[in-house]
Structure 1
């Protein structure tokens, strides 16, 4: 192992160093210059959910700066248009379109995607960034726990319905924005919807992010015939409005260490813009593939993974 690789691994395992802005600053020194190249996404269409603020907004800005036409998919058109104006001030002439869809609502997702593939027959990349951390357990109109629906079920259904448009692109890519918090959670094989026990929003968030990462290899295999590369990634700790609202105590303690939204979005943008051929189904952080487990208590069997996959596919209305 090279000294650089050893340092990188140490940063990852110490968490505070690796997930903070210091980890980003150290690692970026080893990244090759010119990757991604200027205008790497010229002519491409990139869809970003949750693009009105925080990491999603920074992701949309990064894709637009590389020449992409960006579809900013948001729940609130008003907030989406405000974000669009901000991004146009940063990148005049950028092609930015605001679309409204609550990705937790599977009926709304189906309607949105059906209409989108008609007017947008080619989509080069989908970045599933929309996220929630409910204070109390809540269910969607379809009866699914809100974090699961937002982070897993909605993205599954949306991607599946957009496959014809993705298959029309020369190198389609799908990115699931996960969280390092998933390392703390086992796969919830017996209670995917978090119906039992004391509900905690941070735990619900991390559980659903564990499911995202666990399903990534299955989705990579499922969508391979459409040429789609699947990647899950985590952005590290970022100073965003969402963090301030959901985890104010954590933000107060760690604020000097937190990344900017742009630093947190870097790997998501790189994953869809780099010319490198990426292995599909992997979990990434700071432009490198990472282990999916550090604790023995989070490991699961193939049978347990299959059960969770079948539950999520059925809940999203897909054939497993």
Structure 2
């Protein structure tokens, strides 16, 4: 969005938060000069796209939208029956839809999923890491890591790393993050949330901050394989997860919440758009965004490097 007036309005919407994150902000941006065009019909014909957390909310919307663009969509879910229900809702004949069971917070399960995808010979054009949770109490993954960090960071990083040989030379990897990450510092001194009183919303935002701050390291590592990696935040979207985890917030903001499809728009657009956008950045409403505003919660290169070292070690990546 290079038009100066459009850019100024867009930035003002972002700084207002309510104006930028709700469906009102998306509707306004769509009318501004320079709004990127939608991907053409059939843009993903002949491609395979993997979507995690595909049994509801943003993940379910991604599945429908990617399928509509012609992709063969692979639904990665913890509950296989729910995933198959979503797939049948998209196409009763299950054409170009495959369901895979995996708990993304369990690194052994992630390794097993990667092996099964390899055995199936899937050439992956897009990988949308949408699986998410906001636990009310501190819980740990099978490997003993704090649950939100395992699910939102370690699992996605490991799965992508293991699938690198199966990714096409035009592959795009999308980490679905949250605007809530703007409220938290990078937890470089306490990634497992062992200090202080645990709060689920804080843990969620800390893990999402981590996703964004390791983008540079991920792009440097995976870019050599032809991969472009992005983080996207959907704004405030109406999903079952929001209703269950933040019921008061959902009740107050319900009139202006985005639909799941509106929340998933930029993730799908980044997977489908041509030419491919430069990787390594945070996106919202089809535009790169800063990772901090007014210097609040800004992160140093040294802290980003320390955080990446922890992620790589915890995920078992070769350095």
Q: What TM-score results when the alignment is normalised by the length of structure 1?
A: 0.96
3-state DSSP class of the match of 1:298? Answer: coil
CA distance in 1, matches of 2:161, 2:192: 21
Between 111-120 and 183-192, the greater mean CA deviation after superposition: 111-120
By how many angstroms is 1:295 displaced? Answer: 4.4
Equivalences for residues 241-320 of structure 1 within 5 A = 241-320=240-319
Q: After superposition, what is the alpha-carbon deviation per residue over 1:233-264, rounded to whole angstroms, capped at 9, x for unaligned?
A: 10000111110000000001100010000000
Any stretches of 5+ residues in structure 2 without a counterpart? none
By how many angstroms is 1:38 displaced? Answer: 0.9
3-state DSSP class of the match of 1:223? Answer: helix
Aligned to 2:239: 240
Aligned to 2:182: 183
Check the 8 A contact 1:127/1:174 in 2, yes or no.
yes
2:142 is the counterpart of 1:141: yes
Aligned to 1:122: 123
Check the 8 A contact 1:233/1:284 in 2, yes or no.
yes
Check the 8 A contact 1:64/1:94 in 2, yes or no.
no
3-state DSSP class of the match of 1:308? Answer: helix
Check the 8 A contact 2:29/2:35 in 1, yes or no.
no
CA distance in 1, matches of 2:255, 2:148: 28
CA distance in 1, matches of 2:121, 2:7: 42
Q: What TM-score results when the alignment is normalised by the length of structure 2?
A: 0.96
Q: Let me know the Cα RMSD of the aligned residues.
A: 1.3
3-state DSSP class of the match of 1:171? Answer: strand
Q: After superposition, what is the alpha-carbon deviation per residue over 1:136-175, rounded to whole angstroms, capped at 9, x for unaligned?
A: 0000110000000000000010000000001xx2310100
Between 62-71 and 303-312, the greater mean CA deviation after superposition: 303-312
Check the 8 A contact 2:219/2:229 in 1, yes or no.
yes
Check the 8 A contact 2:193/2:203 in 1, yes or no.
yes
CA distance in 1, matches of 2:122, 2:283: 29
Check the 8 A contact 1:156/1:316 in 2, yes or no.
yes
Any stretches of 5+ residues in structure 1 without a counterpart? none
Check the 8 A contact 1:184/1:295 in 2, yes or no.
no
3-state DSSP class of the match of 2:124? Answer: coil
Cα separation, partners in 2 of 1:295 and 1:205, compared to 1, 3 Å: farther
2:110 is the counterpart of 1:109: yes
By how many angstroms is 1:279 displaced? Answer: 1.2
2:69 is the counterpart of 1:70: no
Matched residue pairs, number?
316
Runs of 4+ in 1 over 3 A off after TM superposition: 30-34
Check the 8 A contact 2:23/2:257 in 1, yes or no.
yes
By how many angstroms is 1:35 displaced? Answer: 2.6
CA distance in 1, matches of 2:127, 2:195: 33
Aligned to 2:152: 151
CA distance in 2, matches of 1:220, 1:185: 23
